[in-house]
């Protein structure tokens, strides 16, 4: 179904090839996992498989990639998509229509299918992925798991023989990951070949037949899944764990304190203007040096709590206290910081050094700023990148820089929203180190994460938000 | 994220009109606003278009937009008065010279309110796909309509990020908002283009498309009424009373 | 960082540089498929920029209440900045008229804007396009900046002409209109400066290579 023969590919203007001399074969009904540290060339393989490289991205290709026996060079990406559907990390970014039904039909419409055929294909793929009840829903109101399913259904409407999945679990919670694994297993049973690129490994055990470990663009190791049981190999290539315990049940609850002279909220009541009540009389007290996992179902209000505690939302009632003093919503950024899921939005200066200097403005005396910024760069492993433009950094580097920028302001409360989404094992461990350091420096950390592998060694306790009740169990 | 970012009003009279009919009304109304200068003609069109606007949005919304427009007009008049102190010849105040530009503005506001507050993005998107425009016009136009909710979402996130690191100065605000926005859109354009290419967008506008649905009775009736109103307004302009500027 | 880690880090960094090249520079010269003048990637980029140009300038204008001189200048500054970046990202003849046309249509269809400004703004940027060609094409930043300025000035002149038609009974208000066009023009010239600065920044970030 998919065959790479001595493929070497360089992006235009790049000094070195992104992948070099890669060969493998994937038969119908087989699944292959490709992993490796960030920037090792995994995503480039997906772009070679779906024809975006070199048709769309240009560059220099040697060797050949074939999909269903046809050279990818001989077909356009749109033609190849009929044989090889590609699922991106963030499905929302690949939606073009505004409702689920339209999204499933759009690709077929664009290809000139007649209305009856479209209806049949949409109904079949919607049934296969279990999204037939949400065909009228807007694509933007779906959960991440549902978006993933809709994107998959849209690909399957073309009935491709190969699915190329680029970090499909990066935004999913453990339950949605398990569902995705089941869906993919069912597709594999139907003869669909799967080429999966991911940092998270544990969910592919039992699903994939072959594992390809890439390093610096070349195949470093190849074998069945048991290859990844080798801990030194995982360490060497910056990979994540293969067995991940679920710490959500075993983590102790955040202790209930009557009051805190560090950081607290009292009787917070909040409802969105057109939504239901999210919190009613919520009181929480936080202690310094702790890393608390904020746990709850989708819609429980995890992000809303983070926004309230950092002043991005104003509660209808109640107050937030820093050192027993009630702080106005507008002034909360001085005491509480949040690193948003999309760290790139928080970076605005021309270099990493300038970014930290700017973040320290107003909280660190001007004469100390350069030395403090330097110290943070060293602590967070950013010193080699001091002159790089923040927007040119990799995802992991951006995340670390955003955390450093938040920490340099010396907040009492530091909240991180999915800080490890899309990070490889090495960067995930660096992030864990950064968070422990911030906690050791006296901040209280609240982490919103679906990443069990990250939660397990980093979080010391949990705060559970039950769905829709507005109550908080501690 | 909102799919239809301006409205949720598919039960109003104007929402039942076809987007093409509303667009045609906008074009005709804007041309009439420029050509006509009789307060009676413009008053007639404003009255009819107000009825249409009230069929698209709540009266409170329409009133807010009117108040905003009036405030803008008063502000402009205030500035004009100040300029008039220095150059008296510029300021020849009279009732009709004040009313006529205001009526023109109200006419445009009414029609644009009707179009924008009663037409879901989804309908515009569907119509765009049916109209036989060349691909080089259709693709960016479809992308533009599609990208608006994503852009609004990105803006909200960037605004939050800027609030977390208050800059205070204009340069800080500029960098905090404009720089992340610019990079975000450059990356989004790439992601969206790749998705579009794989979905086959480049082939989409070369093939046959479904025929455009015919206008409904409601659309035809409103267009006929609009045509009659325009004829009446033109008649009032040329055969009605002649309003000459009167000194105040 | 030990030597092995450092080596791996360098390798990852090199690969990322390639990724930056993929993200930015490539689009500039990507071939148009099937004989079309613009590639899909370029048309999508034009669509995205058209939305952002329109939506962000309207948002800035509304923040200031419509006639706030600071936001009026900022709106023009943002418009010119984004247009300069777009013309570097898609450096092909007719990109500016297409982008302006799409922007005008978006504002007409969705955000509420005078119908008559559509042909006026397209005519203005045809003048800008002519200026870029006369200066030697899209290859140089100077040509692009001057072309955008010509288009902007022509568009403001056309806008003033329309104001003359709409407010012909009240010349005093035309003076106000001229005053605000003047304030907006300061933002236009500032935008040329910030546009060039942004280009330098995008080159530093590896997003655009020329």
Write down the domain spans for chain A: 2-236, 263-465
Of C67, C110, C170, the CB nearest to B75: C67
A237: how many CB neighbours lie within 10 A of its CB?
Answer: 22
Contact of B234 with B36, CB cutoff 8 Å: yes
**% of chain A exceeding 90 in pLDDT:** 51
Task: Please give, rounded to a whole number of angstroms, the shortest distance from the CA of C11 to a CA of chain B.
Answer: 23
What are φ and ψ of residue A338, in 5° steps? -130, 135
pLDDT at C81: 93
pLDDT at C31: 47
Residue A393 has pLDDT above 90, yes or no: no
Task: Please give, rounded to a whole number of angstroms, the shortest distance from the CA of B27 to a CA of chain A.
Answer: 27
Residues sharing a CB contact under 8 Å with residue C161, sequence separation 6 or more, in sequence order: C120
The secondary structure of residue B211, as a DSSP letter, is P
pLDDT band at A60 (very low <50, low <70, confident <90, very high): very high
Dmax (CA) for chain B in angstroms is 68
**CB pair distance less than 8 Å for C52 and B179:** no
pLDDT at C119: 82
Q: Name the 3-class secondary structure at A163.
A: strand
A37-51, A287-301, B218-232: range with lowest mean pLDDT: A287-301
Provide mean pLDDT across the span A294-298: 81
pLDDT at B3: 32
E strand map for chain B: none
Nearest alpha-carbon partner for A88 in A203, A177, A204, A170: A170
| Residue A166, phi-psi category: left (phi > 0), alpha (psi -120 to 50), beta (remainder) | beta
Residue C141 has pLDDT above 50, yes or no: yes
* CB contact A239 to C (< 8 Å): no
Residue C20 has pLDDT above 50, yes or no: no
**A444 has which bridge partners?**
A413
B148: how many CB neighbours lie within 10 A of its CB?
Answer: 22
Which tens digit of pLDDT belongs to each residue from C44-91?
899 999 888 887 777 776 666 556 778 788 888 989 999 999 999 999
Provide mean pLDDT across the span B107-121: 76
Nearest alpha-carbon partner for B200 in B127, B146, B128, B135: B135
Task: Please give, rounded to a whole number of angstroms, the shortest distance from the CA of C205 to a CA of chain A.
Answer: 5
pLDDT at A21: 95
pLDDT at B209: 57
* CB contact C209 to B (< 8 Å): no
* CB contact A18 to C (< 8 Å): yes
Contact of B118 with B53, CB cutoff 8 Å: no
C-alpha span between B78 and B84 (Å, rounded): 10
A window 40-69, beta carbon within 8 A of C: 40-41, 55-59
For A263-465, give the CATH class: alpha beta
What are the tokens at C94? 């007719």
Residue A471 has pLDDT above 60, yes or no: no
- The CA–CA distances, whole Å, from B84 to B76, B80, B101, C161, C170 equal 12, 6, 18, 21, 11
Burial class (CB in 10 A: 0-12, 13-18, 19+), A460: middle
Place of tokens 């694994």: A181
Higher pLDDT, residue B24 or A206: A206
Chains touching A by CB (3 or more pairs below 8 Å): B, C
**CB pair distance less than 8 Å for A58 and C17:** no
Provide mean pLDDT across the span A436-441: 89
What are the tokens at A126? 């919607």
Residues sharing a CB contact under 8 Å with residue A464, sequence separation 6 or more, in sequence order: A253, A295, A296, A472, A473, A474
- E strand or H helix at B194: helix B170-199
Which tens digit of pLDDT belongs to each residue from B178-216?
888 888 888 888 888 888 888 887 766 655 555 677 888
Residue C34 has pLDDT above 80, yes or no: no
Residues in B touching C34 (Cβ below 8 Å): 202, 206
- Tell me the HSE value of C79 on the side-chain side, using a 13 A CA sphere: 31
A83-92, A357-366, A379-388, B76-85: range with lowest mean pLDDT: B76-85
Higher pLDDT, residue B219 or C26: B219
* CB contact A77 to C (< 8 Å): no
A23-27, A425-429, C127-131: range with lowest mean pLDDT: A425-429
What are the tokens at A429? 């461990």
ipTM of the complex in this document: 0.81
Chains touching C by CB (3 or more pairs below 8 Å): A, B
Of B23, B185, B202, the CB nearest to C52: B185
Of C43, C51, C99, the CB nearest to B147: C51
* CB contact A76 to C (< 8 Å): yes
Task: Please give, rounded to a whole number of angstroms, the shortest distance from the CA of B42 to a CA of chain C.
Answer: 12
**% of chain C exceeding 70 in pLDDT:** 72
As for how many domains chain C has, the answer is 1
Of A14, A37, A56, the CB nearest to C18: A14
Instruction: Please report the number of interchain residue pairs, chain A to chain C, with beta-carbon separation below 8 angstroms.
Output: 83
What are the tokens at A238? 């910056």
Length reported for chain C:
210
**CB pair distance less than 8 Å for C67 and B76:** yes
**CB pair distance less than 8 Å for A88 and B191:** yes
* CB contact C137 to B (< 8 Å): no
Residue C190 has pLDDT above 80, yes or no: yes
pLDDT band at B89 (very low <50, low <70, confident <90, very high): low
What would the DSSP string read from start to end of B114-181?
Answer: HHHHH--HHHHHHHHHHS---HHHHHHHHHHHHHHHHHHHHHHHHHHHHHHS---SHHHHHHHHHHHH
C-alpha span between A349 and C78 (Å, rounded): 18
Which tens digit of pLDDT belongs to each residue from B149-166?
778 888 888 888 888 887
Residue C25 has pLDDT above 60, yes or no: no
Same fold, A2-236 and A263-465: yes
A window 388-407, beta carbon within 8 A of C: 389, 391-394
Provide mean pLDDT across the span A317-339: 90
**CB pair distance less than 8 Å for A59 and C22:** yes
* CB contact B4 to A (< 8 Å): yes
Place of tokens 């070949």: A193
Q: Which of A36, A392, A395 to mutate to test the interface with C (most CBs of C within 10 A)?
A: A392
Task: Please give, rounded to a whole number of angstroms, the shortest distance from the CA of C142 to a CA of chain B.
Answer: 21
Residues in C touching B135 (Cβ below 8 Å): 36, 43
Provide mean pLDDT across the span C11-16: 41
What would the DSSP string read from start to end of chain C?
Answer: --HHHHHHHHHHHHHHHHHHHHHTHHHHHPPPGGG-SS-HHHHHHHHHHHHHHHHHHHHHHHHTTS--HHHHHHHHHHHHHHHHHHHHHS--TTHHHHHHHHHHHHIIIII---TTHHHHHHHHHHHHHHHHHHHT-TTSHHHHHHHHHHHHHHHHHHHHHHHHHHTTT-HHHHHHHHHHHHHHHHHHHHHHHHHHHHHHHHHHTTS---
C-alpha span between B196 and A95 (Å, rounded): 9
Provide mean pLDDT across the span A408-417: 92
pLDDT at B123: 66
**CB pair distance less than 8 Å for A111 and B163:** no
What are the sequence ranges of the domains in chain B? Answer: 17-119+214-239, 133-204
- Tell me the HSE value of A148 on the side-chain side, using a 13 A CA sphere: 22
Nearest alpha-carbon partner for C22 in B55, A57, B59: A57
- The CA–CA distances, whole Å, from B1 to A91, A227, A460, B122 equal 15, 43, 34, 14
pLDDT band at B243 (very low <50, low <70, confident <90, very high): low
Higher pLDDT, residue B240 or A11: A11
pLDDT at A68: 92
**CB pair distance less than 8 Å for A97 and B125:** yes
Q: Which of B141, B159, B180 to mutate to test the interface with C (most CBs of C within 10 A)?
A: B141
Q: Which of C6, C7, C8, C15 to mutate to test the interface with A (most CBs of A within 10 A)?
A: C15
* CB contact B144 to A (< 8 Å): no
* CB contact A304 to C (< 8 Å): no
Of B87, B140, B194, the CB nearest to C50: B140
A53: nearest CA partner in chain B: B194
CATH topology (fold) of A2-236: Rossmann fold (3.40.50)
Residues sharing a CB contact under 8 Å with residue C187, sequence separation 6 or more, in sequence order: C72, C73, C74, C75, C76, C77, C80
Cis peptide bond N-terminal to A54, omega within 30: yes
**CB pair distance less than 8 Å for C66 and B72:** yes
Of B83, B105, B155, the CB nearest to C176: B83
Burial class (CB in 10 A: 0-12, 13-18, 19+), A266: middle
Of A38, A39, A391, the CB nearest to C205: A391
What are the tokens at C21? 């090249």
Length reported for chain B:
248
Residue A470 has pLDDT above 50, yes or no: no
- E strand or H helix at A453: helix A452-458
C-alpha span between A324 and A264 (Å, rounded): 8
- E strand or H helix at A414: strand A413-417
B125: nearest CA partner in chain A: A97
Q: Name the 3-class secondary structure at A460.
A: coil
Place of tokens 């910056």: A238
Nearest alpha-carbon partner for A339 in A439, A412, A250, A406: A406
Residues in C touching B139 (Cβ below 8 Å): 40, 43-44, 47
Instruction: Please report the number of interchain residue pairs, chain A to chain B, with beta-carbon separation below 8 angstroms.
Output: 132
Nearest alpha-carbon partner for A263 in A319, A315, A317: A319
Provide mean pLDDT across the span B12-26: 82
Residues in A touching C44 (Cβ below 8 Å): none
C-alpha span between A420 and A296 (Å, rounded): 18
pLDDT at C111: 52
B169: how many CB neighbours lie within 10 A of its CB?
Answer: 10
A53-67, A155-169, A349-363, B105-119: range with lowest mean pLDDT: B105-119
What are the tokens at A264? 């607290």
E strand map for A229-363: 263-271, 277-286, 291-296, 317-322, 325-327, 336-339
Place of tokens 């809709």: A150
């Amino acid at each position: 179904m998919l065959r790479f023969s001595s493929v070497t590919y360089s992006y235009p203007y790049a000094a070195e090839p992104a992948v070099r001399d890669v060969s493998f074969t994937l038969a119908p009904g087989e699944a292959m996992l490709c992993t490796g540290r960030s920037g090792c060339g995994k995503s480039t393989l997906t772009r070679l498989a779906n024809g975006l490289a070199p048709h769309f991205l240009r560059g220099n290709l040697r060797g050949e990639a074939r999909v269903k026996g046809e050279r990818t060079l001989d077909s356009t990406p749109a033609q190849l998509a009929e044989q090889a559907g590609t699922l991106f990390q963030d499905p929302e970014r690949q939606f073009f229509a505004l409702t689920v039904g339209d999204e499933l039909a759009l690709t077929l419409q664009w290809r000139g299918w007649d209305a009856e055929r479209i209806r049949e294909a949409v109904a079949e793929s919607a049934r296969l992925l279990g999204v037939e009840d949400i065909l009228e829903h807007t694509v933007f109101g779906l959960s991440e798991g549902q978006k993933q399913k809709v994107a998959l259904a849209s690909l399957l409407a073309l009935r491709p023989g190969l699915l190329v999945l680029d970090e499909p679990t990066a935004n999913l919670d453990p339950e949605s990951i398990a569902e995705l694994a089941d869906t993919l297993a069912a597709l594999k049973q139907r003869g669909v070949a799967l080429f999966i690129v991911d940092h998270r490994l544990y969910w592919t055990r039992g699903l994939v037949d072959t594992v390809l470990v890439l390093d610096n663009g070349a195949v470093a190791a190849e074998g069945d899944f048991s290859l990844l049981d080798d801990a030194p190999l995982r360490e060497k290539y910056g990979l994540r764990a293969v067995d991940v315990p679920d710490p959500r049940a075993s983590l102790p609850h955040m202790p209930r304190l009557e009051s805190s002279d560090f950081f607290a909220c009292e009787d917070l009541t909040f409802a969105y203007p057109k939504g239901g009540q999210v919190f009613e009389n919520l009181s929480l007290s936080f202690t310094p040096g702790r890393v608390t996992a904020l746990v709850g179902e989708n819609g429980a209000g995890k992000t809303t709590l983070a926004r309230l505690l950092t002043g991005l939302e104003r509660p209808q009632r109640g107050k937030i206290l820093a050192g027993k003093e009630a702080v106005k919503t507008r002034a909360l950024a001085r005491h509480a910081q949040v690193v948003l899921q999309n760290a790139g939005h928080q970076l605005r200066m021309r270099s990493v050094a300038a970014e930290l200097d700017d973040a320290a403005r107003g909280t660190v005396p001007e004469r100390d700023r350069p030395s403090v910024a330097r110290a943070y760069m060293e602590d967070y492993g950013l010193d080699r990148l001091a002159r790089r433009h923040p927007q040119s950094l990799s995802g992991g580097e951006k995340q670390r820089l955003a955390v450093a920028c938040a920490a340099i302001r010396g907040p009492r409360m530091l909240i991180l929203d999915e800080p490890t989404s899309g990070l490889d094992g090495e960067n995930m461990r660096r992030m864990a180190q950064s968070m422990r350091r911030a906690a050791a420096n006296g901040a209280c950390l609240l982490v919103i994460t679906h990443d069990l592998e990250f939660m397990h060694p980093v979080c010391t306790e949990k705060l559970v938000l039950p769905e829709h009740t507005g109550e908080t169990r501690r | 994220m909102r799919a239809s970012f301006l409205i949720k009003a598919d039960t109003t009279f104007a929402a039942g009109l076809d987007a093409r009919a509303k667009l045609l009304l906008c074009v005709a109304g804007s041309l009439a606003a420029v050509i006509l200068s009789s307060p009676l003609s413009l008053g007639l069109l404003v009255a009819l278009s107000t009825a249409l606007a009230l069929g698209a949005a709540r009266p409170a919304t329409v009133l807010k937009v009117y108040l905003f427009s009036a405030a803008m007009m008063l502000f402009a008049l205030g500035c004009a008065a100040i300029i008039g102190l220095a150059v008296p010849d510029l300021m020849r105040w009279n009732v009709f010279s004040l009313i006529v530009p205001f009526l023109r503005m109200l006419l445009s506001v009414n029609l644009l309110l009707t179009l924008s507050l009663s037409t879901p993005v989804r309908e515009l998107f569907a119509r765009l796909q049916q109209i036989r425009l060349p691909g080089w016009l259709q693709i960016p136009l479809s992308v533009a309509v599609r990208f608006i909710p994503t852009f609004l979402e990105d803006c909200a996130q960037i605004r939050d990020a800027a609030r977390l690191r208050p800059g205070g100065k204009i340069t800080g605000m500029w960098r905090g908002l404009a720089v992340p926005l610019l990079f975000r859109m450059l990356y989004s354009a790439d992601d969206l283009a790749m998705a579009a290419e794989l979905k086959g967008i480049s082939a989409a506008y070369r093939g046959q498309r479904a025929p455009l649905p015919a206008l409904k009775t409601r659309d035809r009736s409103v267009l006929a009424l609009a045509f009659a109103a325009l004829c009446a307004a033109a008649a009032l302009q040329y055969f009605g009373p002649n309003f000459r500027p009167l000194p105040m | 960082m030990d030597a092995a880690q450092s080596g791996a880090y360098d390798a990852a960094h090199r690969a990322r540089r390639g990724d930056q090249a993929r993200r930015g520079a490539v689009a500039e010269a990507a071939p148009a498929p099937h004989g079309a003048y613009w590639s899909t990637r370029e048309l999508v980029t034009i669509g995205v920029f058209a939305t952002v140009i329109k939506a962000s300038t309207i948002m800035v204008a509304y923040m200031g209440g419509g006639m706030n001189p600071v936001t009026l200048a900022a709106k023009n500054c943002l418009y010119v900045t984004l247009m300069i970046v777009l013309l570097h990202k898609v450096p092909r003849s007719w990109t500016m008229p297409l982008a302006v046309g799409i922007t005008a249509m978006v504002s007409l269809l969705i955000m509420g804007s005078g119908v008559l400004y559509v042909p006026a703004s397209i005519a203005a940027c045809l003048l800008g396009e002519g200026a870029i060609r006369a200066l030697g094409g899209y290859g140089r930043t100077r040509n692009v900046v001057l072309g955008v300025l010509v288009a902007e000035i022509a568009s403001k002149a056309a806008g003033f002409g329309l104001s003359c038609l709409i407010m012909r009974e009240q010349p005093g208000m035309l003076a106000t209109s001229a005053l605000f066009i003047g304030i907006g023009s300061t933002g236009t010239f500032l935008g040329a400066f910030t546009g060039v600065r942004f280009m330098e920044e995008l080159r530093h970030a590896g997003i655009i290579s020329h």
